[in-house]
A = this chain, B = another copy of it.
Amino acid sequence: MKSEIISVGSELLLGNTVNTNASFLSRKLAELGIDVFYHTVVGDNVYRLKTITKIALDRSDLIIYTGGLGPTEDDLTKEVVSETLGVDLELDNVHLAKIKKYFEKRNMKMTDNNIKQAYIIKDSKVLNNDIGTAPGVFFNWKDKKIILLPGPPTEMKTMFNNYTAPLLKQDSIIKSKTIRTMGIGESSLEELIKDLVIEQSNPTIATYAKQGQVEIQVTGKGKNEKEIDLIIDPLVKEIDKRLGEYIYSYNNESIEEVFFKQLKKNHMTVAFCESCTGGLVSSRFTAIPGASQVFERGIVTYTNNSKIEELNVKESTLKTYGAVSEETAKEMSIGLLNKTNVDMALSITGIAGPTGGTKDKPVGLVYIGLASKDKSYVIKNIFTGSRQDIQNKAANKVFVEGRKYLLEINN
């Protein structure tokens, strides 16, 4: 089945919004074994949306629209599609009631505009919107399938996963395994598996570089998951043999998830104290559902005073070596360990920039301290990039170091 994605919205053409909807849908369609041949973005304009629709009908079997289902004047996807295809819109009372309820629940006034959202293409299947007020639409037109989804990413994703994907199940499916690595560059990595990349057609291997990491995606096509696993697994084993030391995840898990699972397995608890990452480490860790099982506490000690009060860092240490130093990182992690009684305390102190760097202590210098009942040590790092890059890379490294410690004590 040839498919294409049409994203409607002038904000995309102004560059204010990045089209993450198209990449989300592409990934999901690939998993379903459906080829995506085009993405198109078009503004909130009747003539151009009509033209694009005609082009799409000419070349694709499945057309998925996102955006333009809202209540305002410039939301016109449903109207233009119905006119171009010559199908009628009709008021759906079930959905009108749902929209009314949505507003009542939130104590908000429903405007006349919102009634527009309850108009549905005749004889179509309504796709529920669990989060917002705009329902989606699925219908067959001649030998084509047409799907209209809302623009806000959370609404669109929920609607696709819950109500759209089940309607698109194929005879053959695609399954990917993502292997995540750290500590090796993309070209060096590719050199090590080049022969595998060239040899394979099913499964295929692709590599992607992302913020200090390289991902390897192994994708197979087959009748069912079991059939695909049979061709993917030997290849993953071969990759593991060649790159094992750099791999931290085989399941598309983030480094913090891998660290979290390892802590859980070890029945150990953790606490973080952060200076230059300003809460990012705690925040990324607690974004994992169930983090509370292993996470005890996080402290963002931005001032010298808070480092002394919260973590018992010596004033003399701060004076002699400075807040960004091996000595301070060490005292921070030990102070946190003593205070919280966790199994592992991690500290981060550094210079995220853009200002504040010196010749001796440049922007990007970050010390990571680890303290446990057995030992404590500090790792010195120099990261590059913007303030945000440095904060992100430092947070990545905290999880890498935490995991490394766990792997070592398990051996």
Contact = CB atoms under 8 A, between A and B. Distances in A.
B302 A300 contact: no
Interface stretch (A21-29, A76-84, A139-147, A326-334): A21-29
A266 interface: no
A283 interface: yes
Given A15-B23, A48-B37, A111-B188, A279 B298 contact: yes
A191 B19 contact: no
Q: In the assembly, how many copies of this chain are there?
A: 2
Interface string A1-34: 0000000001111111111101111111110000
For A13, A113, A154, the residue with the greatest tally of chain B CB atoms inside 10 Å of its CB is A13
B27 A16 contact: yes
B16 A208 contact: yes
A299 B339 CA distance: 14
Interface residues of A, number: 106
B27 A12 contact: no
A93 interface: no
A408 interface: no
A278 interface: yes
A299 to B, nearest CB: 5
A188 B23 CA distance: 31
A38 B37 contact: no
Contacts of A20: 18
B114 A187 contact: yes
B310 A303 contact: no
A97 interface: no
Contacts of A11: 206, 208, 217
A174 B152 CA distance: 26
Contacts of A36: 13-15
A55 interface: yes
Contact of A300 (B178, B217, B297): B297
A19 B19 contact: yes
Contacts of A387: 287, 289
Interface in A44-75: 45, 48, 51-52, 55, 59, 70-74
A210 B72 CA distance: 15
A318 B156 CA distance: 39
Contacts of A282: 278-279, 282-283, 300
Nearest to A191: B111
A370 B72 CA distance: 37
Nearest to A295: B302
Given A23-B18, A71-B186, A306 B301 contact: no
A71 B188 CA distance: 10
A105 to B, nearest CB: 9
A384 B17 CA distance: 22
Given A209-B70, A287-B388, A17 B23 contact: yes
Interface in A282-313: 282-283, 285-287, 289, 291-292, 295-303, 305-306, 309-310
14 contacts: A13-B38, A15-B24, A15-B29, A15-B30, A16-B178, A22-B41, A37-B48, A40-B40, A70-B186, A152-B210, A278-B282, A278-B298, A280-B283, A298-B299
Closest 5 CB pairs of A and B: A278-B286, A279-B282, A15-B26, A298-B300, A15-B27
Given A72-B207, A114-B187, A282-B283, 16 more contacts: A11-B206, A15-B27, A15-B28, A22-B41, A38-B52, A55-B55, A71-B186, A73-B194, A108-B188, A277-B286, A278-B291, A279-B282, A282-B300, A287-B388, A297-B301, A299-B310
